[in-house]
Structure 1
Amino acid sequence: MVTCQHYQGRGRKEKLTKAQQIQLVQWIKDRPEANDFHCEIWNCAMITEVIWLKFEVRYNMNYLSSLLKKLGLSYQKACFISDRQEEEAYQIARKK
């Protein structure tokens, strides 16, 4: 007689349990100040630190955006703007 094993799925097993994921979402929604950080917005380094300190699980910061998306959170990448947006005006003022 052939026994059928339950399908286990593919891919790597999740590092955080469902309960830990729910707790992480709550901490992120509570803002960084509630988690002993001294700024008003989260960044990847801070979230990976919280995961390590609270759950002793290491996440690569490059994967963190995928985790946040999976948890239903959005993120923004920083947009760096030069302090010399009007280079031509700067050069003219410099020559005076």
Structure 2
Amino acid sequence: LAKNFIRVNTVHPSAVNTPMVANAEYGEFINTHPDVASDPAFKNPMPVEMIEAVDISNAMVFLASDEARYITGVTLPVDAGYNNR
């Protein structure tokens, strides 16, 4: 698709502060399984529990902007270092 200037990129977030994970059911799960909440494998290396939806939106706006016009075929992690462990 690149020969037609069609760019394909993907954004890969960590846990995002949305109702998908910030809800009563997940909170109850964490309360009944504290070992999961304290497991380092489920923590971001950066000291943030969840990232905000605006951070994902900002990454997508960048990829759609003229500043990223020659960026294609990338997987962009917006994950507070989660996938770098």
TM-score between both structures, scaled by the size of structure 1: 0.28
Structure of larger gyration radius:
1
Greater percentage in strand: 2
TM-score between both structures, scaled by the size of structure 2: 0.30
Q: Which has the higher contact order (CA 8 A, sep 6+)?
A: 2
